[in-house]
Amino acid sequence: MIALSLPIVAWVMSTLQLGVFAVPTWPSSVDELEDIMLLNSGYRSRGFSAAVTPCSFSAQGAGRVAAAEWIRTAFHDMATGNAVQGIGGLDASLVFETNGGENIGPAFNTTLTTYAPFFSSRSSMSDIIAMGMYTAVRSCGGPVVAIRTGRIDATKGGDSGVPLPQNGITIFQNQFLRMGFNTTEMIAVVACGHTMGGVHSSNFPEIVPVASAANSNGVKDFDTTQLFDNKVATEYVSGTTLNPLVVGPSIAKGENSDGRVFAADGNVTIKALTNLATFTSVCSTMLQKMIEVVPKGTVLTDPIVPYEVKPYALQLTLLAGGANISFTGDIRIRTTIRAASQVASVQIVYKDRDGNSASDNIDTTYKGTANGFDDSFTFYGFSANLAASSSISSFNVLVTLIDGSTELHDNNGAGFPIQDTIMLQSPQSCLSSTNDTNGQRSLTVIAAVRNTGLFSVQLQLTLKIPRTDGIIVPTLSTVSAAMASQTAIGSYNLYAATYSLDPSQTQTTSFGVSAGSSTDNYKNVTLLPSTCAALSPTAPSSTPSSSAFAFQGCYTDSSASRAYSAAVFYDNNLTVEKCALDCSKFQYFGVEFGGECYCGNSRDPSSTRAGISECNVACSGNTDEYCGGASRISAYKNLNYAPVTNPTIAGYTYQGCFSEAQGGRALADSSTATDGLTVESCASFCGGSTYFGVEYGRECYCGASLATTSTNQSASDCSMTCAGNSLEYCGAGNRLNIY
């Protein structure tokens, strides 16, 4: 083991940034980036890490390592900065600098293309580049690189000054000193940055000639692993390195930059980094320092730490008649320190508009789980109706564990705030699904504004505008439009505005509404229905009925055991009638939570009758109707239901559902296929054959005998109806109803 000198020990200790950082108060400027950082997979996942998972992956194919390219992108963006003068640094100026020069190769444009969808008014491109450092390092087994946010993007390219392989060591030292790194730190940054990736012959043929490339992809790696480890240091010190910037043609060309950098202090620092714990802790600090080289005047936040409890998609919606407001959303519970299995319930404890505690809590139901590199989360959804006269102003979250203990999360004592001065009316808003005569899509936005004073009511849109000249990342443009007063419903006035969107902008545009200082922001136009529903001045009828269906009652429901589980449809423009149509082949259907439709031929025994008032959420497509509630389903019976059967055929006996034969047909004498097939027509075609069978909805087979390798299967396997008669079963894929 290599002993560390006292100066190196002192330096290592000085790099360690110890401290505990407070969880932010919600809402916070870090909220969007916290999601990007932590929600890698599962419910509400952002998927930012997918491009670097696993560590060796690249969507560009063999020879590319996206994680290494993300680290390189952050360094190149930062490297032209001047820490002394406070000019440049990590400011996304690289966006304008990818056409050659010091930024050689396709890695930068590839990385920026991956980052572009995450760029928004709440996540600057420079913060995303910094987040890429954390994500790439962590995906490859490296340490946590703390992420502070608040970077401001450059609007043009910066100065030159990225270190190049041919630079002399004095030039290297001066360049790194300009960035804010002394010689010891320079060595650490290079070692930490070159623990993954390599040199491509296509970019540097003088260093990696095609004939000498380590593999057919034309790449020579910096060390023998594609992991965030200290092999780059241990192999250098042991003399076994194949690092092309240390050995090989780069020596004769004077481009063995890693070798010169590592030897700049007589190999003292690089030897210290052969200790894995030292390497890990030093890289964590040096890479954080690297991404915190920012322009003068930039104020960075505290490092992102996970919320223990975080709300999502909170939405108040005025209901028909104006007497009630729907309150919906999700609550995320961090289950890293409290296992999800230990959570018995999550409830919302709220205060009304005047700050008075409500008499009843709002229950939630399980929605799903999500995971990051180091944290796990469980989401709970809720939907409740509140009186418009008292409404809500803030809430706390009460978590009850299975041992009976409780946790009250109060957002650092502030409560989780929610305003009801202005509310987006999503059911009444819409984005047209077709282009108008000018080739545009019409966006209509409706907001409900409480009659408490005179406000300037505005619609704000944030548009992503493509740049020219090969610049990958779009620019953001904010557009405002005055909203016009429409009609009064209860204590609220409805306001409306329309805007024409280019079809290419419909997937990337966000919007919000404001009345004075009150806002309801960060909405996604893709979540709006394609047609606007009217808001009735009268309250919903509880249970619509028709000659086609009859209301059965309000019943309990849960994600673990659905009341009706044969089919499910989700619709942000749902009505009872639409669900009845979707479930027309089933005996029962139910609507839940405003936008969920479930079908089945029987109700699960775990679903029991609930009070009619508990099915109190208006349908998303018709606020005159109720569509269940949170864990409550409005159940209906299909009065036109006729069961699908295996009909009686004269001269034949139904044998059951059978598999196709192995290596041949179950019935091999003759066959036909038609889009008008019925069981009766197949029997007629087979003309007295000993056996006949129907398969895949439209296929008919005949035979004097049944193949021995065709075996009886579960009746549920033959689930397709006949193409010519939807009330008869006609097998399925590789399954026959045999007669």
- Whether the predicted pLDDT of 18 surpasses 60: no
361-419 pLDDT tens trace: 998 989 899 999 999 999 999 888 899 999 999 999 999 999 999 999 999 999 999 99
Q: Please state, as a whole number, how many other Cβ atoms lie within 10 Å of the Cβ of residue 724.
A: 18
pLDDT-derived band at 20, boundaries 50, 70, 90:
low
Q: Which of 204, 201, 205, 203 is nearest to 218 (CA)?
A: 201
Please state, in angstroms and rounded to a whole number, the distance separating the CA atoms of residues 647 and 428.
47
pLDDT-derived band at 542, boundaries 50, 70, 90:
low
User: What pLDDT is stored for residue 19 in this prediction?
Assistant: 55
> Quick check: pTM over 0.85?
no
95-135 pLDDT tens trace: 999 987 899 999 999 999 999 999 999 999 999 999 999 99
- CB-based contact 352:391 (threshold 8 Å): yes
User: What pLDDT is stored for residue 2 in this prediction?
Assistant: 47
34-37: Cβ within 8 A, 24+ apart:
34/304, 34/306, 34/307, 34/310, 36/118, 36/123, 36/128, 36/131, 37/131, 37/134, 37/135, 37/147, 37/304, 37/372
| One-letter amino acid of 619 | C
- CB-based contact 230:238 (threshold 8 Å): no
Q: Which fold has domain 423-527?
A: Immunoglobulin-like (2.60.40)
Please state, in angstroms and rounded to a whole number, the distance separating the CA atoms of residues 667 and 640.
36
Task: Work out the average pLDDT over 85-95.
Answer: 96
Average model confidence (pLDDT) for the chain?
Answer: 92
- Whether the predicted pLDDT of 340 surpasses 90: yes
- CB-based contact 170:178 (threshold 8 Å): no
| One-letter amino acid of 139 | S
What is the rounded end-to-end Cα distance, in angstroms, of the chain? 79
All structural domains of the chain with their residue ranges: 6-291, 309-420, 423-527, 549-638, 656-738
pLDDT-derived band at 1, boundaries 50, 70, 90:
very low
- Residue that the structure tokens 């999503």 belong to: 426
Phi, psi of 277 (to 5 degrees): -65, -40
- CB-based contact 45:39 (threshold 8 Å): yes
Task: Work out the average pLDDT over 23-30.
Answer: 95
Does this chain's domain 309-420 share its CATH topology with 423-527? yes
Q: Which two tokens stand for residue 606?
A: 């775990």
Q: Which of 319, 414, 396, 305 is nearest to 358 (CA)?
A: 396
Query: Looking at 184-193, 380-389, 700-709, which range is the least confident one?
Result: 380-389
User: What pLDDT is stored for residue 11 in this prediction?
Assistant: 53
User: What pLDDT is stored for residue 6 in this prediction?
Assistant: 46
Kindly state the helix (H) or strand (E) to which residue 69 belongs, with its residue range: helix 66-78
Q: What is the percent of the chain with per-residue pLDDT over 70, rounded to a whole number?
A: 96
- CB-based contact 217:62 (threshold 8 Å): yes
Please state, in angstroms and rounded to a whole number, the distance separating the CA atoms of residues 615 and 630.
8
- For 364, counting Cβ atoms within 10 Å of its Cβ (0-12 exposed, 13-18 middle, 19+ buried), the class is buried
Q: Is the dihedral of CA 614, 620, 623, 627 positive or negative?
A: negative
User: What pLDDT is stored for residue 621 in this prediction?
Assistant: 85
Task: Work out the average pLDDT over 179-183.
Answer: 96
CB contact set of 19 (below 8 Å; sequence gap of 6+): none
202-218 pLDDT tens trace: 889 999 987 665 555 78
CB contact set of 714 (below 8 Å; sequence gap of 6+): 657
- CB-based contact 551:635 (threshold 8 Å): yes
User: What pLDDT is stored for residue 13 in this prediction?
Assistant: 53
Q: Which of 565, 634, 553 is nearest to 593 (CA)?
A: 634
User: What pLDDT is stored for residue 498 in this prediction?
Assistant: 96
What are the beta bridge partners of residue 408? 398
- Whether the predicted pLDDT of 4 surpasses 60: no
Which option is the CATH number for 309-420: 2.60.40.2440, 3.90.45.10, 3.40.30.10, 2.60.40.10? 2.60.40.2440
242-280 burial code (b ≥16 CB/10 A, e <16): ebbbbbbbbeeeebbbbbbbbbbbeebbbbbbbbeebbb
DSSP for residue 358: P
Q: Which two tokens stand for residue 341?
A: 């299995």
Kindly state the helix (H) or strand (E) to which residue 522 belongs, with its residue range: strand 518-524
- Whether the predicted pLDDT of 3 surpasses 70: no
Task: Work out the average pLDDT over 250-259.
Answer: 95
Kindly state the helix (H) or strand (E) to which residue 252 belongs, with its residue range: helix 249-253
pLDDT-derived band at 593, boundaries 50, 70, 90:
confident
Q: Which of 450, 474, 460 is nearest to 522 (CA)?
A: 460
Q: Which two tokens stand for residue 195?
A: 């623990």
CATH of domain 6-291: 1.10.520.10
Q: Which two tokens stand for residue 67?
A: 């994680």
The three state secondary structure string of 103-159 is: ECCCHHHHHHHHHHHHCECCECHHHHHHHHHHHHHHHCCCCCCCCCCCCCCCCCCCC
- Residue that the structure tokens 């399925």 belong to: 732
pLDDT-derived band at 7, boundaries 50, 70, 90:
low
- Which residue did the predictor score with more confidence, 545 or 711? 711
pLDDT-derived band at 546, boundaries 50, 70, 90:
confident
Q: Which two tokens stand for residue 228?
A: 């965030």
